[in-house]
Amino acid sequence: MRLAEALGALRDALAAVRFPLSLPEAAEAAKTAATTRAQLEDYLLPRLARLDAPLLVVVGGSTGAGKSTLVNSIVREPVSAAGARRPTTRDPVLVCHPDDAAWFTEAHLLPGLGRTSGDDGGLRIVTSERLTAGLALLDAPDIDSVVESNRALAERLLAAADLWLFVTTATRYADAVPWELLRDARARGTAVALVLDRLPGDADAEVTPHLIEMLGANGFGEAKLFVVPETTLDDRRLLPEPLVAEVRGWLDSLARSAADRAAVVRQTVDGAVAALDPAVTQLATAADAQVEAAEALEGSARSAYEEAGKAVERGIRDGALLRGEVLARWQELVGAGEFMRGLQARVARWRDRLVDTVTGRPRPAEQLQSALESGVVTFVRGAAADAAERATAAWRAHPAGSALVKAHPELAAPSEDLSLRLDRLVRDWQRSVLELVRTESGNRIAFARAGAYAVNGLGLVVMISVFAATAFIPTGAEIAVGAGTTIAAQKVLEAIFGDQAVRQLAAKARKDLLDRVDALLDEEADRFRAVLADAGIDGAAGSSLRSAAAAVAQARLGDSSLGEAR
């Protein structure tokens, strides 16, 4: 049957869908997905496999409505525990004719609910010759039980019913909970009948018309309504047989008529199938919201770290790193005062002086290299810390992100090993700069005269040029000194390598450093992506649900077995 196959595919789609992000609609969506899947497994799929199977009538209602007493009185024996203790019904009891026992004990309907013939828990199956074959009564827990598991079980059993026999009383008939469930039943097209139980004689003229009016206003104008007056129970705690004769006679007539049973089943099955589409549409929308939230959170984290990368680039280009310790070590290495005197007139001489200096004094060069390394590490780590703070702030402002940050407080700070990774990054970059210098130098005569330390010394000058792209545009005494020294460095490099080669060296070295920093910052952003990935959000869940629901709707229209219900 195409409809059964389509419903099976929808069940699988519902089993796979998750709503892990704490969005406002997530909890309700998860509950709807679970209850919809349960109805498919508990009722629709097994019922479609046997439309002619015995009719299941679930007797439900509020606490103390007299459900168990009614069931016992219909079969004329105490098959279900009844009494003053609340909740009265804990484990559901199903009563059927012995000829129908196989259908129910073999767990066709409600396959996930264990069967028992005693008091061991699960669905207790009781057979009775007094109940007409073709119909079973299931005494469900209270729909408003103080025990949450009882309420959930009651709703599950009602969703697996071919017919609801809803029991209420003169004092409880207007309660909100029963009417909420009744409206859900109407939305699903479930066949419903009601019993107004324990009605005092002096209340009949007022309560019964009011209940009939409420039924009409809520779309149950054609539902059967049985009235059981208040009375004294016999010694077996059963209602007098004449008081239940009408409801029993109606149930017997249903059981004896295959056509009437089939009409009830078709109505309920077709209504339940029709109700799947709006329910699944809502679930698909909720699944889409999960994906959209994840994308928004990932985008805010990515944006925070991209901004950190831009901040590092600005800091590198504006010479911010050529201050403090780095500037002091540079001045110590090359003699800043002399650079500031007659710079333009004596570039060639200072070229030779610089080469001699950096190649003959390894210790100051090492100190400058170390200062550069420390400065870059500190600067980038600060940018990464700012990015982590901005990303977590954005996540805290989002309903889904707030719960994730709470569960992963480590996101608010950089990775514990970031400093070590930064140390390695800067050292690797410095080695790449030296390799650039070595490659560019080739067999240049001026470079060949420089001696064994030339690569290291001129590599440091290239590094200094990387961090002085704007030649210290701000003013100030320290800045002025820095400007002179970096201009001198550039002139020396131009004299050794040539103008074009210097620009290429600095540009390559700067791009290499920024690429490495961007990669490292992206790794830091990966921490946020990993949290989202671990949440298990399926980007295709919404479309999968919609496709499955569309297949069900199409199969329903082509299913001739449900045609009379429509």
- For the stretch 311-327, pLDDT in tens is 999 888 776 666 665 55
What was the pLDDT predicted at 116?
76
What was the pLDDT predicted at 554?
94
At 184, the pLDDT band (50, 70, 90 cuts) reads: confident
> What are the CA-CA distances from residue 91 to residues 87, 123, 152, 503 (Å)?
10, 6, 12, 84
What average pLDDT score do residues 388-399 get?
Answer: 97
What was the pLDDT predicted at 229?
95
59 versus 82: the higher-pLDDT residue is: 59
What was the pLDDT predicted at 147?
85
What average pLDDT score do residues 121-127 get?
Answer: 86
Checking if the pLDDT of 134 tops 60, the result is yes
Closest CA to 482 of 491, 495, 471: 471
Checking if the pLDDT of 48 tops 80, the result is yes
> What are the CA-CA distances from residue 334 to residues 179, 277, 329, 345, 373 (Å)?
89, 79, 9, 17, 19
What was the pLDDT predicted at 165?
96
What was the pLDDT predicted at 346?
40
Closest CA to 291 of 9, 26, 13, 15: 26
What was the pLDDT predicted at 342?
35
What average pLDDT score do residues 287-297 get?
Answer: 97
Q: How far apart are CA 165 and CA 116, in angstroms?
A: 23
What was the pLDDT predicted at 471?
41
What was the pLDDT predicted at 339?
35
Percent of the chain with pLDDT over 90: 56
Checking if the pLDDT of 1 tops 70, the result is no
What was the pLDDT predicted at 145?
83
Render pLDDT for 234-257 as a digit per residue (tens, 0 to 9): 999 999 999 999 999 999 999 999
Closest CA to 394 of 308, 302, 310: 302
118 versus 226: the higher-pLDDT residue is: 226
What was the pLDDT predicted at 321?
64
Checking if the pLDDT of 387 tops 90, the result is yes
Mean pLDDT of the chain, nearest integer: 83
Checking if the pLDDT of 406 tops 90, the result is yes
Checking if the pLDDT of 332 tops 80, the result is no
What was the pLDDT predicted at 166?
94
From 308-312, 456-460, 473-477, the region with the lowest mean pLDDT: 473-477
At 109, the pLDDT band (50, 70, 90 cuts) reads: confident
At 173, the pLDDT band (50, 70, 90 cuts) reads: very high
Q: How far apart are CA 242 and CA 239, in angstroms?
A: 8
From 39-43, 357-361, 388-392, 476-480, the region with the lowest mean pLDDT: 476-480
Checking if the pLDDT of 526 tops 80, the result is yes
Q: Is 381 exposed, middle or buried (0-12, 13-18, 19+ CB in 10 A)?
A: middle
Strands of the sheet with 115-116, listed across from one edge = 115-116, 123-127, 93-96, 135-139, 55-61, 163-169, 191-199, 224-229
463 versus 12: the higher-pLDDT residue is: 12
What was the pLDDT predicted at 40?
95
For residues 367, 370, 372, 374, the Cα torsion angle rounded to the nearest 10 degrees is -130
282 versus 443: the higher-pLDDT residue is: 282
Task: Please spell the DSSP secondary structure of 237-262, one letter per residue.
Answer: S---HHHHHHHHHHHHHHHH-HHHHH
What was the pLDDT predicted at 449?
46
Render pLDDT for 348-380 as a digit per residue (tens, 0 to 9): 454 555 544 444 444 665 666 677 777 788 889
Q: Is 416 exposed, middle or buried (0-12, 13-18, 19+ CB in 10 A)?
A: exposed
What average pLDDT score do residues 510-526 get?
Answer: 95
Contact 103, 125 (CB under 8 A): no
Checking if the pLDDT of 341 tops 50, the result is no
Options 2.40.50.140, 3.50.50.60, 3.20.20.100, 3.40.50.300; CATH of 53-256: 3.40.50.300
From 37-51, 178-192, 335-349, the region with the lowest mean pLDDT: 335-349
- The highest-confidence range among 97-111, 203-217, 316-330, 344-358, by mean pLDDT, is 203-217
What average pLDDT score do residues 79-85 get?
Answer: 69
What was the pLDDT predicted at 142?
87
What average pLDDT score do residues 26-39 get?
Answer: 94
Contact 131, 50 (CB under 8 A): no
What was the pLDDT predicted at 111?
84
* pTM: predicted TM-score of the whole model, two decimal places: 0.79
Structure tokens that stand for 268 in this block: 């309920």
335 versus 438: the higher-pLDDT residue is: 438
At 463, the pLDDT band (50, 70, 90 cuts) reads: confident
Checking if the pLDDT of 410 tops 80, the result is yes
What average pLDDT score do residues 67-94 get?
Answer: 79
From 26-35, 49-58, 224-233, 425-434, the region with the lowest mean pLDDT: 425-434
What average pLDDT score do residues 210-228 get?
Answer: 93
Q: How far apart are CA 348 and CA 458, in angstroms?
A: 15
Q: Where are the domains of the chain?
A: 53-256, 318-537
480 versus 319: the higher-pLDDT residue is: 319
Checking if the pLDDT of 450 tops 50, the result is no
